[in-house]
């Protein structure tokens, strides 16, 4: 099938998104509410951690250039691998929660 024919079929398959569809999705997810809430909360935390690493790296550089006490530089620099490990652990937990929800 060429691209034009696929595009026409895709256009024909589109249906308006209705409240009934939202209700069906909600009913499907209702038994998994707690698990889905944990999944979304972990995703938000992981997003914050992804932003924190470059921000901390910038602060380390600012502290070095600004001539701050070396203990400040070391403390800020030590947080970067801690955040990386936390982000990895939360990533594993998020994937596990996602796969459990998908199987149910």
pTM above 0.85, yes or no: no
Q: What is the pLDDT of residues 6-34, one digit of tens each?
A: 555 555 566 677 888 888 888 877 887 88
The Cβ of residue 10 has, within 10 Å, a number of other Cβ atoms equal to: 9
90 contacts 45 by C-beta, under 8 angstroms: yes
Sign of CA dihedral 29, 44, 39, 99: positive
The token pair at 31 is: 């038994």
Q: What is the pLDDT of residues 63-92, one digit of tens each?
A: 999 988 999 999 999 999 999 999 999 989
Longest Cα–Cα distance of the chain, Å, equals 66
Domain residue limits, the chain: 32-103
Sign of CA dihedral 61, 62, 63, 64: positive
């Amino acid at each position: 099938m060429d691209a034009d024919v696929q595009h026409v079929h895709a256009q024909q398959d589109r249906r308006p998104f209705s409240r009934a569809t939202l209700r069906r999705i909600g009913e499907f997810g209702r038994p998994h509410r707690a698990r889905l809430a944990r999944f979304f909360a972990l995703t938000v935390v992981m997003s914050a951690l992804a932003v924190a690493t470059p921000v901390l790296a910038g602060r380390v550089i600012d502290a070095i250039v600004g001539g701050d006490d070396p203990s400040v530089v070391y403390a800020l620099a030590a947080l970067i691998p801690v955040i990386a490990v936390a982000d990895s652990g939360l990533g594993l937990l998020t994937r596990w929660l996602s796969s459990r929800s998908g199987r149910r």
